[in-house]
Amino acid sequence: MTDVIIPALGESITEATVGQWLKNPGDKVAADEPIVSLETDKVAVEVPSPVAGVMGEQLFKVGDTVAVGAMIARIDGGEGGAVTAPTPAVVKEAAPAAAASAPAKTAAPAEPTSHIDDTPPTKPVPEVGNAVPAAPAPDAIAPAVRKLLGDYNLEPASITGTGLDGRLTKGDVLAAIEAGTAKVIGAPAAAAPAPAAAERREERVRMTRLRQTIARRLKEAQDTAAMLTTFNDVDMTAVMAARARYKDLFEKKHGVRLGFMSFFAKAVVLALRDVPAVNAAIEGDEIVYRDYADLGIAASSPGGLVVPVLRNADKLSFAETEKAIGDFGKRAQAGKLAIADLQGGTFTITNGGVFGSLMSTPILNTPQSGVLGMHRIEERPVVRDGQIVARPMMYLALSYDHRLVDGREAVTFLVRVKEAIEDPARLLLDM
């Protein structure tokens, strides 16, 4: 028997929650094959098997808290002795823990929460008429995915799973909903009576570690910083014209699409140079000023909002910036961001406009002192040279820590961003 030990999960991370067992007792396991998904404060990490063999005893249940260095399972067939699993490099979406509460750090073996059939897959049978493919077994679907399917009353068999052994992930369900390919189970009766009061139900679902961390950090930001938000608007005409003119040539040369985020990242870098307080942080009774810009770019993931860090953004070209941001977005949706991708950062940019937000007051990503909120672009009447014209306008919001950043500095920062976006030549001339 070989012991599987929880490896180091990243700086300052000492424990995690068992999110999902990927192998059941008796299942064959290859060396380095993931056997369990752990939820940390930032992302979910898959722990691989250190040896090939057969999955043996599972020492923790879904929802249990496990410490780094603890033994979590045993593999039968490998060489004896305790073996620490390799440091995990693959990150999956965080699956919420089971709703039923369980004592943390218990050492009692648990019944498996999912089932993987070892029998060879049968050849798929083509659909005939209105036949629907057999749905995955209920115990093969993670609790978070099952809840999402239930919320939308969807048929699991109508959605293609991309997870381990074809399992459905939250990303698969959300993508099917957006594409309109997911099938709704049954159809409501035309004259169905209103549900009686006795039929009303509630469901309690334990928060994932990621959601708990998001909630805690956002509240800490409100409790710690003297947070204030100032607004401005920006005319997107020049940037949109530049993008339309060069996007095809840019993509042909660099292999990546030219978006708006690289313009804003460059504009923020210029503004941070002019107003260094926005790029600084308070540590105790000292102010730490930086001569570099590590930009956190907020991205949506199936498990919640994550903020991967674009390091040394002040030294990156437009193409390098676009490639890095595009890579962050893809890996965030696939649940493959590494913990190192989310650490650090001196300033954050968040774009609520992709979801249709017109205006918002973003919350600081402490200990940072500033966060820029972008919003949707819409045509609005503005006055140019004494004439009322329609222009593509965007509201910008800068939330900042008033303990460190004065109102004059905050307004100056936003004006610098506005000037650079309305006259993109400033980005090339470093003005």
Active site residues per annotation: 402, 406
For residues 397 and 360, the answer to whether their CB atoms sit within 8 Å is yes
Q: How far is CA 93 from the centre of its chain?
A: 8
Give φ, ψ of 382 to 5 degrees.
-135, 160
Number of Cβ atoms within 10 Å of the Cβ of 412: 17
Closest CA to 154 of 140, 174, 128: 174
Q: What is the DSSP string of 40-57?
A: -SS-EEEEEPSSSEEEEE
Q: Kind and range of the H or E element at 20?
A: strand 15-21
Tokens 């609790």 belong to residue: 143
Which token pair is 112? 């498996």
Q: Check the CA dihedral 283-286-292-296 and report its sign.
A: positive
CA-nearest of 60, 74, 56 to 109 is: 60
Cα–Cα dist 328/311, whole Å: 12
In order, the DSSP letters of 126-159 are: PP-TT--PPPPPGGGS-HHHHHHHHHHTB-GGGS
CA 148/CA 221 separation, integer angstroms: 30
Of the candidates 91, 90, 98, the residue with the CA atom closest to the CA atom of residue 60: 98
